[in-house]
Chain A
Amino acid sequence: MWNTISTSLPQILEAGFKYTIPLALISFFIGLALALVTALIRLSATKGINIVIKLFFRFYVWLFRSTPLLVQLFIVYFGLPYLKIKGLTPEGIKLDPFMAGVLTFSLNTGAYASETIRAAIESVPSGQWEAAASIGMTRTQTLKRIILPQALRVSVPPLANSFISLVKDTSLAASITIVEMFEVSQQIAAENYEPLLMYSLVAVVYAIFCTILSWLQGKLEKKLNASHVKRGSESR
């Protein structure tokens, strides 16, 4: 058994570092940027052209939260090549597997995380907006200097949750021919007829990755909580 593990583990880890981690990291950061934009648009004033833009982003969030991730991956990778629009995409949209993966995971993460960020921004007391306004700060300055830093602190735990989910969800990319960790473990199992061992092994590797992430999350929370040190003997 140890022999099997020692020959297959390096292959699984290689796939992890080559595909699983880059796929998760890139998608998460694109998703996060998309989520911030979406949240800010959804919180902006409802007037003029903004109404149409807001509706579009609401539709986007609804669409990606209401359909299975696996189906989204299939549509982007297997479906889009058949989206032949005359004059625009006569050949259909053909993406290489990794690109299709990044696109789908980013859009999916963006939809979920936008709700997290929106709630976090709304959780900052209105007195903070007023205090910033009363010293003459603009809306942009207030967001950047006062609101988002406080929103970030409360959104770290749920965003870390999204990231951990995303790391595990990248296993779905096996179905669109990305040779990530799960795909590699399937291939090895097909050769050595040790499915229990191979799938358990890849499960352990996922668990180790996610444990490291949880630990990093704790560190980040501690750092952001520096201003919320416990009060000493002084009373309020």
Chain B
Amino acid sequence: MKLEQVNKTFGSHQVLKNISLDFPRGKVTVLVGPSGSGKSTILRSLNILEKPETGTYDFDDLQIDFSKEISKNDLFYIRQKTGMVFQSYNLFPHFTVLENIIEGPIQVLKKKRPFAIKQAKELLIKVGLSDKANAYPEQLSGGQAQRVAIARSLAMNPEYILLDEPTSALDPELELEVLKVLLQIAKEQQSMVIVTHNLAFAKRVADKIIFVEEGNIIYDGSVENFFDPDTRNARISQFISSMTFEN
């Protein structure tokens, strides 16, 4: 999965400036950067919730040219191959936890209901919520809601899971329960792209780090080099020290 020479503007503000990135399969890519840097826009472009003005998007053998109209088939293909997890969970409030998870498999993938339910129950065990199948989203804590959202995206069997600041709305102890689930999924070689402000988590989970600032890619490489005080550039050092207690 890769983006090439992508540009995106909102009004007169250019949020992505000719960026090119690739996201290796079976690995965890973490996007970091200050607020408003464009990292969420990159993530949303991968699910085509945002459509950049120019550039290309390659997924396996499919190439999408952002400057042209995207066909329904291509859009459907990309949406199916990439699952999205939002900062504000966006669970369907009128459905139970189980119904939230089986909705996509039944409506979109046309799976049989018993199969979808069986799969959903396995996913709920995986995210540690097997006792909440019949609860409604309003009855869940934020951490539980986000774990359901993760299960919902996994139920579509996507090749990549895209997570947009999945824990920034959560209290620290609830954040930890979500991060643990993500670490476990990462261990299973699930391809992921995560936008996060939590550098400790990034260090732990990432195979690759991308640092974005004002729509430019400042860093794109290994975790070790990103955090190594000897090799990283001054701007990254400044960013890391503003986010942690490290001097």
Contact = CB atoms under 8 A, between A and B. Distances in A.
Interface stretch (B33-41, B53-61, B87-95): B87-95
B138 A134 contact: no
B103 A135 contact: yes
Interface in A88-135: 125, 127-128, 130-135
Given A134-B79, A136-B76, A227 B95 contact: yes
B79 A133 contact: yes
A194 to B, nearest CB: 52
Interface stretch (B19-27, B139-147, B200-208): B139-147
Given A135-B153, A136-B80, A150 B93 contact: yes
Interface residues of B, number: 32
A6 interface: no
A135 B94 contact: no
A134 B47 contact: yes
B107 interface: yes
Q: How large is the interface on A (under 10, 10 to 19, 20 to 34, 35 or more residues)?
A: 20 to 34
User: Residue among A128, A130, A236 with the most chain B CB within 10 A?
Assistant: A236
A235 B83 CA distance: 27
A234 B144 CA distance: 11
Given A127-B90, A227-B93, A135 B138 contact: no
Nearest to A232: B139
Contacts of A165: none
A231 B104 contact: no
B152 interface: yes
A95 B191 CA distance: 67
Contact of B156 (A135, A231, A232, A234): A135
A228 interface: yes
Contact of A141 (B86, B88, B96, B107): B107
A1 interface: no
